[in-house]
Amino acid sequence: MGAGLIGASIGLGLRAAGWSVTISDVDPKAEGLARSIGAGDAPDGSEPELVIVAAPPAAAADVVVAALEQWPSAIVTDVASVKGPVARAAQASGHGARYVGSHPMAGREVSGSLAAQGDLFRARPWVICAGEAPESAVAAVRSVAEALQGDVVEMDAQAHDAAVARVSHAPQLAASAVAAALGTLTAEDVALAGQGLRDVTRIAASQPGMWAEIATLNRQALVETLDHIIADLEDVREADDIGAAVTDLIERGRMEVARIPGKHGGVKREWTPVTVIVPDEPGRLLALLTDVAAHDVNIEDLTIEHSPRQPVGLTTLWVLPGSAEALQEALEANGWQVAAP
């Protein structure tokens, strides 16, 4: 139920995996569009085994309860990015044993079923909140996540909401606040921005779309996280020794950022940057990577920084520490200009 990006993508993915899927939406146009791209058939009135509610976050609880009441034995899950309110509504309905919460954490926000793709969830975390449901119901929802090749994580709804406030909702608002503070600057001032500001504010370009609903539903955890962030910034602001306060905050941030997983669930390895000046012309990046590959060096990560006023980009190749020096020498021998990291 729900034929937006998430609903249609689930439909496409499950049908590709051989499942029998029907799709519906309160908006007949959206429903028709989703059906036309093959995301599911028209409902035929018979009771489904599993109902997946892909409604906007603010509507999820009501649609989940309606589905639990409409079908006496179907298992119902949803995909809303705040799990507590839906779980509480399902429990209050008396049908909580047939409700399992889901949060497939698909990547960047786009919307509408035209952007739908069956592999939207592949290799992305898919949180499952069992709540009052028995293992058989959880297994049914898990099989959806697995069919779509999501990365299943079981969590308590409350813990999920507290976690996403800190890893997603509050960072979005902090990035927007950093961007909003640029409002006093001239265009020339803003042009002093380096890669650091670009990184911090990248998600500030997001559409407000669902964030208003998410903030309303996850208000308590969001406010607790904002309080934490505000208190840390206030401590710097009001410190007698601002230098010591800054050192303390940055040290605490460093400890936490080291816990964000990098490759394969491990703590981010210590990669070494090799920054190359790449003319902003077609084919140059490919030529660079071809030269890198010829020296048998694997690139762990790659970032590109465009120069504001010159037709070159600074491409940073992140490699294992043991490879950096030899790579730099080899690239220079190939005629590349390697800049300091």
Which is closer to a copy of itself, CB of 20 or CB of 247? 247
Among 16, 26, 42, 244, binds a copy of itself (CB under 8 A): 244
Q: Which residues contact 258 (CB under 8 A, 6 or more apart)?
A: 267, 268
In this structure, the number of other CB atoms found within 10 A of the CB of residue 218 comes to: 25
Applying CB under 8 A, the span of 18-26, 37-45, 85-93, 199-207 interacting with a copy of itself comes to: 199-207
Which is closer to a copy of itself, CB of 66 or CB of 285? 285
Applying CB under 8 A, the span of 41-49, 68-76, 87-95, 243-251 interacting with a copy of itself comes to: 243-251
Among 16, 42, 228, 333, binds a copy of itself (CB under 8 A): 228
Closest approach, Cβ 101 to a copy of itself, in A, equals 14
Phi, psi of 69 (to 5 degrees): -80, -35
Closest approach, Cβ 289 to a copy of itself, in A, equals 5
Contacts to a copy of itself from residues 91-150, by CB under 8 A: 105-108, 110, 115-117, 119-120, 122-125, 127
Closest approach, Cβ 70 to a copy of itself, in A, equals 29
Which is closer to a copy of itself, CB of 42 or CB of 182? 182
Closest approach, Cβ 69 to a copy of itself, in A, equals 27
Closest approach, Cβ 203 to a copy of itself, in A, equals 4
Tell me if 304 contacts a copy of itself by CB under 8 A. Answer: yes
Residues contacting a copy of itself: total by CB under 8 A: 140
Contacts to a copy of itself from residues 5-44, by CB under 8 A: 5, 9
Which is closer to a copy of itself, CB of 140 or CB of 203? 203
CA separation for the pair 68, 96 (Å, rounded): 9
